[in-house]
Amino acid sequence: MKKINFIESNIKASDLIFEFPTSLLLMEHFGISFQIHNKTIQELCDEIDLNSNVFITIVNMYNKNAIINSNLYSKKDLIRIISFLKNSHKYYENEKYPEIKKSIDSLYNYNRLPEIKLIGKFFDEYFEEVKEHLNYENDIAFPYFDMILNNKSDSLFKYNFSVKEYSEHHSDIEYKLEDLKELLLNHIPIQNDRLIRRNIIFSLYDLQHHLNVHSEIEDHILVPAIAKFEKELIGK
């Protein structure tokens, strides 16, 4: 089968999912139905009134090939992107992190090294920082973006915040994920835990990819596009 490099909206959703299974999750985050039957991406997006370019660009970003032009997105598109990001937050918080945490806990059952206990603690602290960051976006940044996208210029003035502040806030927590991989791969002795450790490492890579794309969406689409609307609305 020929590898699909650049995904386009005229392909069948089932072909896309066979080629690139993560798109099933991305569809879910956008609210696209699982009942794909024989439909194309375009048809599925039309059903929920989603600009197919938004979906295609983000799938291509996850598939590590994309062309991004923040000028292309309307306010309506950006509202959909924010809702996508919020759903991904829920996915990280309620599924992805707890799943990895569970694996690390069971790692200790196989390999009772004190270092592994410390890895568990390290992961908990890291997860707390991540949650803090997600809450900051959910509670402070996204509501502000919503005001811009819904043209609520009165409330904007009262809200002491700006896109610039958001783009500078970026907390650098990703290096802890690197540290975890490094420790599990290179430094903590293996004892009867090869299988579970492999699964943890795969999950960490997967998580890291998700987080990378997530922040690329924020940096390359959300920030430049919303900054433009912010300027139009209040000249900040």
Partner 1 sequence: MANKKINIVIIEPSSIIREGILSLLKKSGFYFEAFLFDEIDKPLINLNTKIDFFIVAPIKVYNKEEDIKILKRKFPSSIWLSFATTIFESNLLTTFDKVFSIYDSHETISNTISDFILNENQTTKNFVQEFLSSREIDVLKLVVAGLSNKEIAEKLFISTHTVISHRKNISKKTGIKSQSGLTIYAIANKIVNLDDYSK
The residue ranges that bind partner 1 (CB under 8 A) are: 5-6, 61, 64-71, 114-115, 118-119, 121-122, 125, 164, 167-168, 170, 175-176, 178-180, 182-183, 186-189, 215-216, 219-220, 223-224, 227
Query: Considering the complex, what minimum distance in angstroms separates the CB of residue 181 from partner 1?
Result: 8
Report how far Cα 147 is from the mean position of its chain's Cα atoms. Answer: 22
Amino acid at 18: F
Give min distance, CB of 190 to partner 1, in A: 11
The answer to whether the CB of 211 falls within 8 A of the CB of 175 is: no
Task: From residue 140, give the alpha-carbon distance in Å to each of 71, 216, 235.
Answer: 24, 19, 20
Compute the distance between CA of residue 201 and CA of residue 199 in angstroms, rounded to an integer. Answer: 5
Task: For residue 221, give every residue at least 6 positions away whose Cβ sits within 8 Å of its Cβ, in sequence order, or none.
Answer: 57, 68, 70, 73, 78, 81
Min CB(48)–partner 1 separation in Å: 26
Q: Which is nearer to partner 1, 13 or 180 (CB)?
A: 180
Q: CB nearer to partner 1: give 21 or 189.
A: 189
DSSP secondary structure letter of residue 2:
-
Which CB sits closer to partner 1, 36 or 63?
63
Cα–Cα distance, 164 to 224 (Å, whole number): 10
Closer CB to partner 1, 14 or 215, in the complex: 215
CB 100 within 8 A of CB 182: no
Q: In whole angstroms, how close is the CB of 67 to partner 1 at the nearest point?
A: 5
Taking the least distance from each CB to partner 1, the nearer of 28 and 219 is: 219
CB of 39 to partner 1, least distance (A): 26
